[in-house]
Structure 1
């Protein structure tokens, strides 16, 4: 009697475990991709106009004069 109960439980348990499995099969898709080489186009250097160049020169001179004034005043700390 015990053996038959154990046997029935084993069959019933195996039936439950096998019926719960996913039966959906997954497909693996492999796609080939072509490599495309992209050429890097060199951009020409930005050319500054006369106003920009003059402004840079004036800015350098003004900064130089400001630094000289700061050096003359000295450090208050």
Structure 2
């Protein structure tokens, strides 16, 4: 639950900064966030805490990778 709140805060901050990104970088980040949301939903439906934690960590990694790729795209321009 705490990670879900944190993810919401991070997503809100990302939206505030989205105006500073190129359209390509924004699309990459949006795609990563969508994938992370799917994984988070799977975590919410997990049958045990270990699986839930693993899925939440994977969702965080997917979102972080998307943000890093978006940043790299913008820095290359």
TM-score when scaled to structure 2?
0.33
Give the structure, 1 or 2, with the largest relative contact order (CA under 8 Å, sep 6 or more): 2
TM-score when scaled to structure 1?
0.33
- Looking at secondary structure, tell me which structure has more helix per residue: 2
